[in-house]
Structure 1
Amino acid sequence: MTIPVTVVGAGIIGETHVDAVLRHPRLHVAAVVDTDLVARERLAGRAGAEAFADLAGALTPGGLVTVCTPSGLHADLAEQALAAGAHVLVEKPLDAALGPARRLADRADEFAARGLVASVVSQHRFDPASVAVAAAAHGGGLGRLTSAVATVPWWRAQAYYDSATWRGTQALDGGGALMNQGVHTVDLLLWLLGEPVEVFAYTARLAHDDIEVEDVAVATLRFASGALATLHATTAGNPGIGVRLQLHGTAGSAVIHDDQLEYLHADAGPAKASDAVPVSELRGAPKPPDSFVLGHLRQYDDLVAAIDGGRPPGVGLRDGLLAVAVVHAVYESATLGRPVKVAEVS
C-alpha cells in the first residue's frame, strides 16, 4: 500500500517534491495545495492529484504532508498537519522565525509518542559523499575534529528576488543567502562537528536592490568540542560555483565539493575517497541532470523507512531548530557587532 502525499506549495520546490514522490514506489501524490489557482491546478494535473486552496481539506490521517511554501509559513502548516494525524516533511528552514521553529521542535517527543514522523529537508545528509565523510568523522577516522571551512558561493540575479513578492523579505524568507541558500551547509557543519557554542559574524547587502536581507554572510563558529569553523554564504558571487566543505582532524581530512567527494584521508575505515564512494560520486564525475531530484528522493527513502519502522527520521525537528538558531545567531552577531552565544538567541 502506498502512502498518500499532500504537497503544500506549487512553486519550484513543490515541483521537485512532486517529481521525487512520483518516482518512489511507496508514495503517491494525492493532493496539491496552493492559494494560486493556476499553480495548484497545473501541478496537480501533472501529478494526477486533487487540487485544494487550503490544507484543511487535503489532510489524510496517516498520510504525509510535505510543506513547500515560503519559509515563514512552515511551522504553522506543519503543526496543522501533525494535529490531524499526518506525518510531515518540512522544507528548509524549519521556519523563518525562531519562535515558531522552537514551538514546533519542542513538541517533537509528543509527535513521536503518537507514532508520527516529522522531518526537515536536509537532503545533502543523504548524499553518498556526506555519508562517507560523516562515517569517517563520527567513527574516529579523522581523529579529533579540529576545524572546518564551508562556503556557499552562489549567484542570484536581481530577477530572482523580483520573481515573487516574498523573496528577500524578513517575514517570509527569514533571511538571505545564509537562511535560504546556506542553511543546508549549516546543517552539514552541525551534523559533522556537533553542538555550536558561539558565533561571530558580519553580513552585507552588496549586489541587490529592494530586499530586506543579506546577500553576503561570513561567520566564525566555535563548537563545544573546541573545534572552530568558518562559514561563508553569498548570492552575490557571479556566476556561482559549487558548495565546498572541508573538514579537518588530527588523523585525517575530507573535502566535499558540489555534493561529490573530492578528498578523503582517514586512518580508520576507507582510507581515501575512491574507497569510500562509487566512482560516480567522486569529484568531477558527470552529474545526472536530475541530481537535485535524486537528493530529495534519498531523503524520502529515509522518511518512508522511518514511517514503516517506527523510528526517528535521519533529520528531526530539533536538527532543523538548531540550524535556524545558528543562522539567527549569525544575524544577531552581525547586528550587535560582537560574539553571540547560540543558546542565548531568542
Structure 2
Amino acid sequence: MTTDPSTSTPTRALIIGCGVIGIHHGIVLTKHPDFVVTALVDPKPEATEAVAKKVVELGAEEPVIYDSIAAALESDTVDLAVVCTPSGYHIDNATEVIEAGKHVVLEKPLDVSVARGREFADVAAKAAANGQLVSVISQHRFDTGAAIVRKAVQEDRFGRVTSGLATMAWYRSQQYYDSGDWRGTWALDGGGAVMNQGVHTVDLLRWFLGRPVEVVAHTAQLAHERIEIEDTATATVRFESGALAAIHMTTAAYPGLTARVQVHGSLGSAILDNDELRYFHAGDGAVSDNLREAKRTGNQAEEMLGEKASGGDEFTGSRNKPDGFVAGHSRQYDDIAAALQNGSQPLVTVEEALLSLALVRSLYVSATLGQPVAFDDVLNGKYDDLTVTVNAG
C-alpha cells in the first residue's frame, strides 16, 4: 500500500471525531500538501459542520459527512483515517479502520488500557506487514529542540545521563471537566493530569532516558470536583541505565504555567520549556575546572538551534512553516507522508506509544497500591485487573 513519490496524489483523510482536536487535525491536514480531508464522522452534526467549514475556509473542497465510520470507509474516498475520539475509543476505532484495509493515525494516548494496547500492537504489526501504516500522534518528538536533545543523548554528548525531570504545571477549570460527560473519567479519559494533559511530556522523558525499571508515585484530586481522576501527581522513576527522574503533573496550577523536560548528565545538560530549547550544554569529553566560567558561557542552545535552522533539519521540514500548536503535528505528518511514500515505518509506532502508556499506567498502579512497581510487570499484564484510584485529598 505504498505510493510512488513521482506520481503521488494527496492522501485522502477521514477524521473520526470532530471535537477540538479533530478541528486541529482538519487544519493541519488541509494546510499540508500531501493530504486532503475528504470525509468526516462524528455523532454531533454541529461538530462535523465546524470542521467542514474550517476546511472550506482554508481553500479546500468541502469534505463529505458520513453517519458512521463504516460508511466512510466503504465510500472509496478514504486512504487514511485519523482517530480523534475520546481516548477510550481509540483502539476500537483504529481496529475498524485497519480491518477495512486503510492506514490509520491515532491521537494520543494510544488508549486507556495497557492490556488493549498490547493486543492492538499485534494487530498493528500484522497491518504493517500488509503495507498499512499505523502511527500514534506524539508531535513533540518532532519539535526542533526535542530532536536536538534526542540526538545528543544517542551520541553520548551529555556523557552518562544521570537524571531527568518532566513537569507540567497547567490549569483546567471546573467548567472544563463539566463540559463533557467523558471528561475526568477513567473509562474514556484514562486518567487526568498525567494521561490526558501530561502524556506528551512523559513521552519525551522516556524517549530521552530509555526504558523504565521502577516507578514510585502519588496522585491526588485537590482542586476539582465531580471527576474520578487526578489533578495532581508526582513520581520518581528509575531507568535501565541507572538514571533517575522525577515527574510532576498538575492541572491545578492557576493560572497555568509551562511544561518542561530536563536531561542532565556527567558532561552536559538540556532544558526544554514549553517545547523550546532553553538550555543546552554538551561537553567535548572533558569537564572544566572553572565551573563559574562554564556556567556563564555554557549555554549552547542558540548555537544548536542555528545549526538546525541552516542545516536542512529533517524534523523541521514542514513546507507550510506553521506556527504554534500546528507546527508539531505538521512535522509529524511530514514523517507520516514520507512513510506512506517509501513504505517505511513512521517514527512513532504503536510499540513506542505502548511503552509511554505503560509508564503512565505504572504511575497510577504505584499510587493506588502505595508501593513501588516494576515497569515490566505493568507492561506484561500483572496489574491488568487492578482498579486504579486517586486520593480525593
TM-score exceeds 0.5: yes
CA deviation vs aligned residue, 1:138-177 (integer Å, no higher than 9, x gap): 1111111110011011000101101111000111001000
| SS of structure 2 residue aligned to 1:236 | coil
How far residue 242 of structure 1 moved from its aligned partner, in angstroms, is 1.2
Structure 1 CA distance, aligned partners of 2:253 and 2:203? Answer: 22
How far residue 243 of structure 1 moved from its aligned partner, in angstroms, is 0.6
Asked whether the 8 Å contact 2:12–2:77 carries over to 1, the reply is: no
CA deviation vs aligned residue, 1:171-199 (integer Å, no higher than 9, x gap): 10010000000100111011111111110
Is the counterpart of residue 143 in structure 1 residue 176 in structure 2? no
The one-letter amino acid of 2:362's match is A
Is the counterpart of residue 128 in structure 1 residue 128 in structure 2? no
How far residue 248 of structure 1 moved from its aligned partner, in angstroms, is 0.5
Structure 2 CA distance, aligned partners of 1:102 and 1:45? Answer: 38
Counterpart for residue 276 of structure 1: 304
| Worse-matched range after superposition: 141-150 or 102-111 | 102-111
How far residue 42 of structure 1 moved from its aligned partner, in angstroms, is 2.7
Equivalent residue runs for 1:9-28 within 5 Å: 9-28=17-36
Asked whether the 8 Å contact 2:279–2:299 carries over to 1, the reply is: no
| SS of structure 1 residue aligned to 2:15 | strand
Structure 2 CA distance, aligned partners of 1:221 and 1:305? Answer: 35
Counterpart for residue 214 of structure 2: 198
The one-letter amino acid of 2:93's match is L
Is the counterpart of residue 303 in structure 1 residue 336 in structure 2? yes
Structure 2 CA distance, aligned partners of 1:144 and 1:65? Answer: 41
Is the counterpart of residue 324 in structure 1 residue 354 in structure 2? no
Is the counterpart of residue 234 in structure 1 residue 234 in structure 2? no
Structure 2 CA distance, aligned partners of 1:26 and 1:289? Answer: 15
Provide TM-score, normalisation by structure 1. Answer: 0.94
The one-letter amino acid of 2:300's match is K
Is the counterpart of residue 115 in structure 1 residue 154 in structure 2? no
Unaligned runs of 5+ in 2: 1-8, 56-61, 286-297, 310-320, 379-383, 385-393
Structure 1 CA distance, aligned partners of 2:116 and 2:337? Answer: 26
CA deviation vs aligned residue, 1:32-56 (integer Å, no higher than 9, x gap): 1101122113322432101112211
Q: From 198, 212, 229, give the equivalent of 1:182.
A: 198
Is the counterpart of residue 7 in structure 1 residue 18 in structure 2? no
Provide TM-score, normalisation by structure 2. Answer: 0.83
Q: From 118, 133, 143, give the equivalent of 1:102.
A: 118
Structure 1 CA distance, aligned partners of 2:284 and 2:105? Answer: 35
Counterpart for residue 210 of structure 1: 226
Structure 2 CA distance, aligned partners of 1:292 and 1:260? Answer: 12
The one-letter amino acid of 1:3's match is T
Asked whether the 8 Å contact 1:62–1:87 carries over to 2, the reply is: no
Is the counterpart of residue 258 in structure 1 residue 274 in structure 2? yes
Counterpart for residue 288 of structure 2: none
Give percent identity, aligned residues only: 48
How far residue 289 of structure 1 moved from its aligned partner, in angstroms, is 9.0
How far residue 107 of structure 1 moved from its aligned partner, in angstroms, is 2.7
Structure 1 CA distance, aligned partners of 2:174 and 2:79? Answer: 38
The one-letter amino acid of 2:357's match is V
Larger Cα-atom Rg: 2
Asked whether the 8 Å contact 1:61–1:86 carries over to 2, the reply is: no
Equivalent residue runs for 1:64-79 within 5 Å: 64-79=80-95
Given the superposition, is the C-alpha separation of residues 213 and 20 from structure 1 closer, same or farther in structure 2, using an over 3 Å criterion? same
Is the counterpart of residue 46 in structure 1 residue 60 in structure 2? no
Structure 1 CA distance, aligned partners of 2:232 and 2:124? Answer: 33
Counterpart for residue 87 of structure 1: 103
Asked whether the 8 Å contact 2:142–2:328 carries over to 1, the reply is: yes
Structure 2 CA distance, aligned partners of 1:230 and 1:141? Answer: 22
Counterpart for residue 290 of structure 2: none
Structure 1 CA distance, aligned partners of 2:22 and 2:207? Answer: 26
Structure 2 CA distance, aligned partners of 1:104 and 1:141? Answer: 36
RMSD (CA atoms):
1.9
How far residue 296 of structure 1 moved from its aligned partner, in angstroms, is 0.7
| SS of structure 2 residue aligned to 1:229 | strand
Q: From 270, 273, 283, give the equivalent of 1:267.
A: 283
Counterpart for residue 180 of structure 2: 164
Q: From 70, 90, 94, give the equivalent of 1:56.
A: 70
Structure 1 CA distance, aligned partners of 2:77 and 2:271? Answer: 42
Asked whether the 8 Å contact 2:167–2:261 carries over to 1, the reply is: yes
